[in-house]
Every structure is written in structure tokens, then in C-alpha cells.
Structure 1
Amino acid sequence: MDSSGSHSYTYSVGSNPVSYDSQTLHVLFAGESQTLPLHQAGPKIYDYYLLHFIESGSGSFHTEQHKYELGEGDCFLIHPAQLVSYISDPNQPWRYRWAAFTGAEADRLVQQAGFSPDTPVLAAAEGRVIPDALAGMMGAFNANRESAHLTSLGYLYLIIGEAAERLSTHSRLPGTGSQVQRTVKQMIHYMSSQYAHPVSIEQMCDSLGYNRAYLSRVFKQETGLSPVTYLLKLRIDKSRQLLRERPELSVEQVASSVGLTDALYFSRQFKRFCGQSPTAYRIATARRGDNSSR
């Protein structure tokens, strides 16, 4: 920023070449500006979300409930139907980037990030994820290709992901009940999405950032099963579905499809959980289906 107090006003914006037509999520435009001292917008109401990232300078952001003094690295999100205003500092006016977005999914996405009318500010965002994503949106729109619509959504999700990481109210330290339940849900989701691959419990623990002993303990407290047993039961349950619905698949192919490449091990574990071999289970379910159709 020019320390002499002389600032040249700049303003540039790129609009989405794909017009908004009730899409579930849509970035309307993205821009950047070096504001003049005491540059003010509002008080006014917007009918879309408008996110600003402050690259340099300072100023104040006013909502219906609060006033925020903001500077370099801060973000503020204007919510639809909220009366707001914002004004640049008289000596070090803001230089910022922004993007506007809307759509049926926008509310849910904003809530997932941790923003609300009472929490509209992300303080001192680290790194370059958000400003680079905003710049990427603007560049994509200025290229005036229809693919820019999809590109802008990718950048928006990057921004939301970064905000969620920073605004999350959940501590990364284990201990609280809500955190334990959240961690167990993450483990269940991980296994439910990865069961068909040769995933290990160690890999899952590494991806979640906890040691295996801790995760095994809290998982069993919440579910009554160890992670190893839960994953195996999940695979057996999926294999039962395949045995019933895909008669053209061999037992070996079913085993491989649920992440168990050793067919003999699969058959032993299937009998352990179901009381009969995979082949006997398939024959019995097929016979019951034939009898019910008569």
C-alpha cells in the first residue's frame, strides 16, 4: 500500500457467462477493487451472498447486530436480506476481492462453512486459498467460456472448505462427547465409502489424524464393535446383497467386490457371521424367492 496516503481507485469485475436460472448453486460474478479513502457501500440489502477478502488496508463492516473492524487477511460474508454497510479507512483504504453466489444449496453450504448472520467474519485467513480462488473465478469469467460456470463452482467449494476448516467449532483435541460422536461418524463414513478397497484401519486413523488405540477405544464405546469387526461386518453385509442380487457373479468376484481378495478367508468370515457358506446362502435365498413367487 502506498504509505504516502495517495491511492488510485481501481475496479474490475467478471460476470458468469452462464445466466442464473434456478441452479442449485451459482456464482454470479467476481471482482477486485482498490477503494478510495472512506469508500462506502450501503446501508443496503442484497438478495445474494457476497463474500469479500481483504488483501490490504482496513475499514469497518456493519451488520444489523454488530460492527467489525477488519484488515488484511480478513473475510466478511454478507447474507441475503441483511441490512449491511462497509466503509474503507480514511488513511489505509481497503483493497479487496469479492464473489457473489446464490442458489437453493447456498444456505446449506454457508452453514456448513460455519458462517451465519451472527458469525459473518473469518478473521486472518491463512495462506492463499481464498484470494487465489477469488482471482481464479474472475479470470475464468473474463475468459467468457461457458465452462467457467463449473470452474467457478470448484473455486467456491475450495473457499467454503477453507472457511469450514477455520470456523469449525469442533476442537481437534479428543475428549468432548460431541467431538467423539463426530469422530465416530467420520470413521463410519470412511469405512462405508472405502470398504471395496484394501483399506486398513491404520490408513483410516492416519487420515483422521488420531492414533489407532484412541480411535479403537472411542469407536467401541459408541458402537459396541471394534473398527476391524465393524469393517468386516460391513463387507459381509454388502456381500449378502451382491449374492442375492447378482447371481451371475462368482463367490470370488463377490469377495473381491467387497475388498476381500482371499476367497477362502471371505467364505470363513461369511459363515462366521451368517451361519452358512456364501454358496449355501445364495441357494437358500434363491429358493425362498422362487417359493414366494408361486
Structure 2
Amino acid sequence: MEQSYSVASNPVYYEEQNLHVLFAGESQTPPTHQVGPKIYDYFLLHCIETGTGMFRTEQRTYKLGPGDCFLIHPGQLVSYVSDPENPWKYRWAAFSGKEADRTVREAGFSPEQPVAACGGESGIPGALAGIMETFFEGRESGHLTSLGLLYLTLGEAAGKLKAESGPQGKDSQVKRTVKQMIHYMSSQYAHPVSIEQMCASLGYNRAYLSRIFKEETGLSPVTYLLKLRIDKSRQLLRERPELSVEQVAASVGLTDALYFSRQFKRFCGLSPTVYRAVTARQQDR
């Protein structure tokens, strides 16, 4: 097989980026081709397309093949060598940034777990190839494209790593589902969404979600969503005096201003108009 090596660097560099792809490349390595032992000052993600080889960290040694990914962490002493009979071909991308460490931990990577088995149908090689092709084009907008492709890569790896870690306990699964519900309502409260829509988006039936949500929070999903909307409306009434009560109601996802006023008084003890007047007087003191 013919040896090859190609790399492309990001045409722009930002000093204080939360996440920044530095370069990407590909190589068909020769037999027993070795890198290291050495350390890097950035994250370096490899995905193997064909062939096999060995990846060594400070903790252990991994024999890897097609579809496997390994992530080198900054400051970790590592080495990797291709098989003498079936040398590997791989793609890679290097990245850094203030949020890089948190991002890879969210994906499930760590110095103790640097490998993800993504399989032969993985989309990661294509994403890494896309980063390299984008950098070869030399456009400054390639920075954003490379971030999108990097997130796709880490997202797929995260799914594999979580599957490899085994099934979660019942309690942790319930807590994770309730957090998803809270996040959904917090991001969608301004729209006329329903609890049925939320349940459908999360893939559970309403009775189950309502039960576990109330067990964890003490409130039903309907009450939690309504309370969230009223809390947001109180902020708007205080901070946006130019908005009418109808406009405030619509801004928190309640299109019926009369219903909004009734529910506001139920939670706050005052009508929206009186609440606004009272808080305005307090602020003027």
C-alpha cells in the first residue's frame, strides 16, 4: 500500500476562543510507524479507517482497529505505533480552548478512558475529512464549519462511550430525565408548547413523566411550566414598563391575557397591573 500524509491548518486563530480546531489531517502509515513517547499541549483526536496498531498512555495499552477513536489529552505522555503487517490509516484533528477540557469530559473522554469504539459505520472519518477539506479552502468561515464538525464527532463518540459504560441505575436515569424536562420547559416556555409535546419529544408517555417529575420536584409538569412562565412575566413587568400586559403574556407563551391575569394573581396575590405599579413605586424609593 502507498504511504501518504496530508494536513491542513485552520486559516485563522483566535487567542481566547472557548473551542478552536487547530488543524486536521490524514495518513496511511508505513509498517511499525511510531509516534512518541511524547506529550502534546492540545487535544488530538484520531479515528482509524483501516489497519491496526497500538496506542499507549501512562495508564495502559490499547490494540485498536477500524472504527476506533483515541483522544490524546494535553500533558499526557503517549505513543502509538502501526502494525507491522497491517499498518493503520487514520484521520485526526487537533483542538484547544478554554472549554475544550469540559467539552471532552461531557463527551465521556478522560485520561483513564481515551478510547471509543465507534464501529465501521461511523460518521467520524467523514467529519474529520470535512474539517481538513474546509481548511484547505482557506476561508475564514471554515472556523465555524470546523467547530460544527468537531461537535458532531464528539457527539457520536459520546453515544458510544455512554453505551460502553453500561446501563445507568434507575435513580440516575430518572434524575437525568427530569433534568431534560426542566431544560425543555426552560427553553420553550415562551412558545405555546404543551406537556404532550414535551412528552413526545422525550419519547415517554405523559403519565410516567408526570409521576417522576412530581416525585423529584414536588410539582406537576403543568404547574412547574405555569410557575416558570409567571416568574418570567414578573421579570418583564418590572424591567419592561413599555410592554402591555397582553404583550407580556404573549412573551411567556400565554396568548390568552385574561387567563394569564388570573394565573398571575393566583401565584402572586396581585394582578399584573397592580404588581407592576407596586414594584415601580418600590424602585423609585
Coarse TM-score class (shorter-chain normalised): over 0.9
| Structure 2 residue aligned with 1:218 | 212
| Structure 2 residue aligned with 1:207 | 201
Q: Deviations over 1:105-141 (max 9, x none)?
A: 1111111111001100001346443111101100011
Q: How does 1:146-225 map to 2 (within 5 A)?
A: 146-168=140-162, 176-225=170-219
| Structure 2 residue aligned with 1:93 | 87
SS at match of 1:168: helix
* Aligned equivalents of 2:118, 2:237: Cα separation in 1: 54
Which residue, out of 224, 228, 239, partners 1:245?
239
Residue 287 of structure 1 deviates from its aligned partner by 3.2
Residue 20 of structure 1 deviates from its aligned partner by 5.3
Question: Residues 75, 171 of structure 1: CA spacing in aligned structure 2 closer, same or farther, 3 A cutoff?
Answer: closer
Contact 1:8–1:34 under 8 Å retained in 2: yes
SS at match of 2:154: helix
SS at match of 1:93: coil
Structure 1 outlier segments of 4+, above 4 Å: 169-175
Residue 50 of structure 1 pairs with residue 44 of structure 2 = yes
Moved more, 151-160 or 204-213: 204-213
Contact 1:170–1:179 under 8 Å retained in 2: no
Contact 1:39–1:87 under 8 Å retained in 2: yes
Residue 69 of structure 1 pairs with residue 70 of structure 2 = no
SS at match of 1:249: coil
* Aligned equivalents of 1:229, 1:129: Cα separation in 2: 42
Aligned residues: 285
Residue 285 of structure 1 deviates from its aligned partner by 2.3
What is the TM-score normalised by the length of structure 2? 0.94
Q: What's the RMSD between the two structures over aligned residues?
A: 1.9
Question: Residues 242, 171 of structure 1: CA spacing in aligned structure 2 closer, same or farther, 3 A cutoff?
Answer: farther
Residue 278 of structure 1 deviates from its aligned partner by 1.5
Residue 289 of structure 1 deviates from its aligned partner by 3.2
| Structure 2 residue aligned with 1:102 | 96
Counterpart residue type for residue 233 of structure 1:
K
Question: Residues 217, 126 of structure 1: CA spacing in aligned structure 2 closer, same or farther, 3 A cutoff?
Answer: farther
| Structure 2 residue aligned with 1:3 | none
| Structure 1 residue aligned with 2:138 | 144
Residue 103 of structure 1 deviates from its aligned partner by 1.7
What is the TM-score normalised by the length of structure 1? 0.91
Q: Deviations over 1:31-60 (max 9, x none)?
A: 011111211111111111111001111111
* Aligned equivalents of 1:117, 1:255: Cα separation in 2: 49
* Aligned equivalents of 1:171, 1:227: Cα separation in 2: 31
* Aligned equivalents of 2:276, 2:24: Cα separation in 1: 57
* Aligned equivalents of 1:261, 1:75: Cα separation in 2: 50
* Aligned equivalents of 2:84, 2:24: Cα separation in 1: 25
Residue 170 of structure 1 deviates from its aligned partner by 10
Percent identity for Structure 1 against Structure 2: 74
SS at match of 2:200: helix
* Aligned equivalents of 2:69, 2:122: Cα separation in 1: 12
| Structure 2 residue aligned with 1:31 | 25
